[in-house]
Amino acid sequence: MVAKGSGKRSSAGIRGVRRGATRLVGLSLGVLSLLAVAGCDAGKAFNGFGWPQGGITPTSQRMYDLWIGSTVAALVVGVLVWGLIFWCVIRYRKRGEELPPQTRYNIPMETLYTAAPFLVIAVLFYYTAIVQTDVDRTSKNPDVTVEVVAFKWNWQFNYRDGMGEKAGTVASTLGDDRTIPVLVLPSNKKIRFEQTSKDVIHSFWVPELLFKRDVFPGPIRNVFEATLEREGAYVGRCAELCGTYHSMMNFELRVVSPDEYQRFLAAKQAGKSTADALTSIGEAPYATTTTPFPTKRQQS
């Protein structure tokens, strides 16, 4: 009789777990479709929940969507948990001296609250892995390859005729303590950035790309790819503490139309300075987003 009874209880327990799991999956799907529909609007209403606005690449938009989705999902879980806490506090408050029914070893319930966090992590991991793979993706045939050379405390940008260390440089822009280097690139093209450093570790960062990547000295040549969708001038910075004037190690990214870019490159190849080549395509000759900082300051 005892065995029969416990058998009944365990089959009821399994049914409970199944019911709980079905409800959880239903709830997750409901939340996900809600996010898909309302995610972006919620982001706009709450100023992106703190996420930097104004990305100029398709990947920055996908990262933004991931952030909004994760934040809304966290809020949904938060509201559920807060609701259950307050419900328990009010519904099961102390009413007398009698010991309430004890519910330890409730297997379906324990299984549910062990499985639910794993489900949440799995969903977050899945979407993060997809977006990260997308951000890190490089193509076999980029439209433009530029070599980023970092050094204390400035930048050199080499326009290349191919990929890899052995490719040749067709034009170059070098920054110094009186000139902010302007990196001119075309809009809506696949740009491959190949990075190398002359001395210590720096980090290439344009806030509007919502992306930064370390620039290493020696044989490690970091690479990433970006498509710049909006023309304009954007300040670039070093994001790795590299020495005394690290915070002054600025450059400018100037995104122009593909036609203007071709004319700029032709002018550079014809021997013009970056400022003259920029003037020849109707652009401001010097950086407009930041100013140079003399690193060889005089004692006074």
Shortest Å distance, C-beta 180 to Cu ion: 14
Q: Which is nearer to Cu ion, 147 or 283 (CB)?
A: 147
Taking the complex as a whole, the smallest distance from the CB of residue 273 to Cu ion amounts, in Å, to 24
- Closest approach, Cβ 197 to Cu ion, in A, equals 8
**Minimum distance, C-beta of residue 150 to Cu ion, in the bound complex (Å):** 6
Contacts of 168 (CB under 8 A, 6+ apart): 160, 161, 162
Helix 107-136 / helix 58-91 crossing angle, nearest 10 deg: 160
182-186 β-sheet, strand order: 182-186, 251-256, 232-238, 202-206, 211-215
User: Residue numbers of the site for Cu ion (CB under 5 A)?
Assistant: 202, 238, 242, 246, 249
DSSP per residue, 82-118: HHHHHHHHHHT---SSSPPPP-TT-HHHHHHHHHHHH
Q: Which residue, 63 or 249, is less far from Cu ion as judged by CB?
A: 249
Q: Which is nearer to Cu ion, 70 or 290 (CB)?
A: 290
Separation of CA 216 from chain center: 20
Q: Are the C-beta atoms of residues 282 and 267 closer than 8 Å to each other?
A: no
* Cα–Cα distance, 158 to 248 (Å, whole number): 21
Cα-based distances in Å from 211 to 45, 130, 156, 224, 237: 24, 16, 19, 10, 11
Whether the bond between 155 and the residue before it is cis, its omega within 30 degrees of 0, is: no
Q: What is the DSSP letter of 254?
A: E
| Closer of 69 and 236 to Cu ion (Cβ) | 236
Pick between residue 149 and residue 182 the one whose CB is nearest to Cu ion: 149
CB 176 to Cu ion: min, Å: 15
Tell me how far, at minimum, the Cβ of 199 lies from Cu ion, in Å: 9
Nearer to Cu ion, 51 or 155 (CB): 155
How many other β-carbons are positioned within 10 Å of the β-carbon of residue 65? 18
